[in-house]
Amino acid sequence: MIKSIDVRYFRWLFMIAGVLSNISPAFTGTTYTVDPGTYRARLKQLEPGAYVWLMPGEYRDGLPIHQLHGTAQTPITISGPDEEPRAVFVARPGHNTVSIVNSSYVTIRNLVLDGRNLRVDGVKCEGHADWAHHITLDGLRIRGHGNNQQTVGISTKCPAWGWVIRNNVIEGAGTGLYLGNSDGRAPFIGGLIDRNLIIDTLGYNLQIKHQQPRPVLPGIPDEDSATIIRHNVLSKVRGGSKEMARPNMLVGHWPLTGPGANDRYLIYGNFFYQNLHEALFQGEGNIALYNNLFVNHFGDAIRIQPHNDTARAISVFYNTVIARGSGINFARRENDPAHPQFVMANIVFAGMAVQGISLETNLTDKFDEARNYLTQPFAPLGEMNLMPVAAKVRKRAGDSMRFDAYPQADLDFDGDLHGTGGMGAYALGKDRPRWLPALEIKPLSVTPP
């Protein structure tokens, strides 16, 4: 009888299953093996289902993804090795390294993008493109893109929908992810941003821009959809600009009328860590924010407030917040039954725990009091434990029926069942977390047998 199995075994099984499910459609086409001297010629000849294997080496001529089209069943996949030695793309002056124009159903994975501190982006959906949809960026390692705050790890500047951005590491960029354009006319729609590590940026770790009325384009979604931002680690403990201070994450509003007006952000399972000069999170529009950890020893944690419009349908629940400044600051939209708003079942320890909303359905106290309710809230990363001390945190009297509309709201930060009447990001009554927060890609949760 097996008494115990290393958790890494389960993680390996999940990883293999995920890799096979993602790349298996590519094998319906041809597999090409290329090197730094042959890859550009091959890129011009890719058919749906093609799988391009990049040999280890240094690639100095960029990666143009221009007019490439797979299908939902047969995407084009371009992949480097997932371990050393790697395929390294070295930046060139005047050229974004991965340049995307009018392409669809393309997966790019396991590349190193070395920006060499030049004024170019790592991945850029170019502003002169008409659109780019169903692009997957998986396992990229993006470094050396910190020339200035406008230098971006991954950027979209044309209408983009159906993107998957997952398992990437962006370190020391000017901005980590910048999705959309400042005028609101390059919408980012129906995306999945999953298990990325974005640290030490000058500006935002992640910003999704507000949206003007949706353009009319073939295939662009016109039904209600959601952009999911889950299980990411976002930190500005080092490197943030004081002169142009930005939150770790900012999400702007959806179109105010017409297609997309009912779209929403589903933001859950993320670890927000430190910002010396700004809040950890700022948002407007339609947002569900739940099962996240927020730790800021310098200032504010959560601000729901106008940026280009106002807060609309807002749900903030099951978060654990430690902030020296304000914990949850909510500029409410009064007397608007079309856009329900609630903030409940959060655990908040902050200089000013909650502003603009009732305290009754949240557990709140001063910043320093966190140590009396949580296991090791002020320990270093890798030792920090934000699980409640059971004797100090009691279950709420209310039920969680209103949370049922949100995906995985019944699972806590670790992926365990929350149960009824819980508070904060962790299920009450657990012995220990599955993962102690650290500056690394958050591992896949493992459900016990």
Tokens of 57: 């080496």
Could you tell me which residues come within 8 angstroms of residue 326 by beta carbon, excluding any fewer than 6 positions away?
279, 300, 301, 302, 303, 350, 351, 352, 355
Short-list 293, 303, 301, 305, CA closest to 323: 301
CB 296 within 8 A of CB 318: no
* Residue 92, beta-bridge partner list: 95
User: Using the 8-state DSSP alphabet, how is residue 95 labeled?
Assistant: B
Query: What does the pLDDT read at residue 386?
Result: 97
- Residue pair 129/99 in contact (Cβ under 8 Å)? The answer is no
| pTM for the structure as a whole | 0.92
Q: Distance between CA 267 and CA 229 in Å, rounded?
A: 5
CB 301 within 8 A of CB 294: yes
What size, in residues, is the chain? 449
Report pLDDT for 336. 74
Query: 385-388 and 112-114: which strand pairing?
Result: unpaired
**For position 357, what pLDDT does the model report?**
75
The pLDDT score that the predictor gives to residue 264 is 96
Strands (E) located in 256-379 = 264-268, 271-275, 281-283, 285-290, 293-296, 302-304, 311-317, 320-330, 341-344, 347-355, 363-365, 374-376
Domains along the chain with CATH numbers:
26-403 (2.160.20)
What's the burial of 440, exposed, middle or buried (CB within 10 Å: 0-12/13-18/19+)? middle
Note the pLDDT of residue 17.
Answer: 39
CB 77 within 8 A of CB 105: no
Distance, CA of 372 to CA of 252 (rounded, Å): 36
Report the sign of the C-alpha dihedral through residues 134, 193, 206, 311, in that order.
positive
pLDDT tens per residue across all 449 residues of the chain: 333 333 332 333 333 334 334 433 435 689 999 999 999 999 988 999 999 999 999 999 999 999 999 999 999 999 999 999 999 999 999 999 999 999 999 999 999 999 999 999 999 999 999 999 999 999 999 999 999 999 999 999 999 999 999 999 999 999 999 999 999 999 999 999 999 999 999 999 999 999 999 999 999 999 999 999 999 999 999 979 999 999 999 999 999 999 999 999 999 999 999 999 999 999 999 999 999 999 999 999 999 998 988 889 999 999 999 999 999 999 876 667 778 888 999 999 999 988 877 667 899 999 999 999 999 999 999 999 999 987 677 666 455 667 888 999 999 999 999 887 789 999 988 889 999 999 999 998 754 43
pLDDT of residue 398: 57
